[in-house]
Copies of this chain bind each other. A is one copy, B any other.
Amino acid sequence: MKRISTGIPEFDTELEGGYPEGKGILISGDTGSGKTILGLHLIYRACMDNKNCLYIATEETPEDIIMQAESLGMDLRHFYNEGKLVIQRIYEERVHEAIASVKFGNDRPLSSDIVKLKDIIVGINDIVIIDNIGVFTLTMALDVFRAQFDALTCVLSQKGYTTVFIMDETSNRRTEYVAAYSVYGVIKLSRKENPYTNKHERYLEVTKMRNTQIPEEPIRYKIAPEKGIVFLSD
């Protein structure tokens, strides 16, 4: 099984070289846990490795994404300008839909068919990142979500894409964590108080990664300016 580097050398070591190529993985976590930052590491490294990357952004503008990457020491603008990185402007589309729906008295502004994402995700891509898949789940019945998410995962995998699904913890909990059953791997980010030191610590946990001997313990990390995620040894 081919693997793709995460851009974080210690993480690659933990994953037998990286995350599986051609499969879907899920990154979940609460507000401020660093989901998007981890996603930026994956994307930046993929760009550096000359891969074609597609970023589906539901909550930020392309400029926001690029600025955030820059503050972490990753020059994404370069790849964006030369077309290695394509950023789909789903965020602004959602805003226009919401405003229009109020104007025309339509209560349900956001079309939420996940399967339709397959029609957006076209072209020659190596890595596709969807940040955040959670916004498509708000009105979806659980069985519809599971069926559609399974379908999307399968279709993207058949096209040979490697897909990174970022999902906020609120949506993950509301859909009863079923997304985890459909993907090849799951990475959970959290931040909690250490009961001994009373300090808040950040943890990355790999709860699932098929065909991979996964680390049994959560990995402590910090987010450093100009560097992003840095693993800490205990």
Task: List the B residue with the shortest CB-CB distance to A92.
Answer: B154
Is A1 at the interface (CB under 8 A from chain B)?
yes
Within the complex, what minimum Cβ distance (angstroms) separates A178 from chain B? 6
Asked if B113 and A147 make an inter-chain contact with CB atoms under 8 angstroms apart, the answer reads no
Contact A102 B148 (CB under 8 A): yes
A146 interfacial by beta-carbon distance below 8 Å: yes
User: Any chain B CB within 8 A of the CB of A210?
Assistant: yes
Q: Are B181 and A168 in contact (CB under 8 A)?
A: yes
Q: Which of A9-60 contact B (CB under 8 A)?
A: 31-32, 59
Which residue of the partner chain B has the closest CB to A210? B68
| Separation of A178 and B171 alpha carbons in the complex (Å) | 9
The interface residues of chain B lying within 8 Å CB-to-CB of A92 are: 154
* Segment of A73-81, A104-112, A120-128 engaged in the interface with chain B: A104-112
Q: How far is the CA of A64 from the CA of B8 in the complex (A)?
A: 27
Neighbouring B residues of A229 by C-beta, 8 Å: none
Judging by beta carbons under 8 Å apart, are B151 and A146 in contact?
no
**Contact call A108/B150, Cβ cutoff below 8 A:** no
Q: How far is the CA of A92 from the CA of B180 in the complex (A)?
A: 18
**Complex A-B: 25 CB contacts under 8 Å:** A31-B177, A31-B180, A31-B186, A31-B208, A32-B207, A59-B150, A64-B210, A91-B150, A94-B147, A94-B151, A95-B150, A98-B148, A101-B147, A102-B115, A107-B144, A108-B144, A109-B143, A109-B148, A134-B181, A135-B150, A138-B146, A139-B141, A139-B143, A174-B176, A200-B217
Interface residues of A (CB under 8 A from B): 1, 31-32, 59, 64, 67-68, 71, 91-92, 94-95, 97-99, 101-102, 107-110, 112-113, 115-116, 118, 132, 134-135, 138-139, 141-144, 146-148, 150-151, 154-155, 168, 170, 174, 176-178, 180-182, 186, 199-200, 207-211, 213-214, 216-218, 223, 225
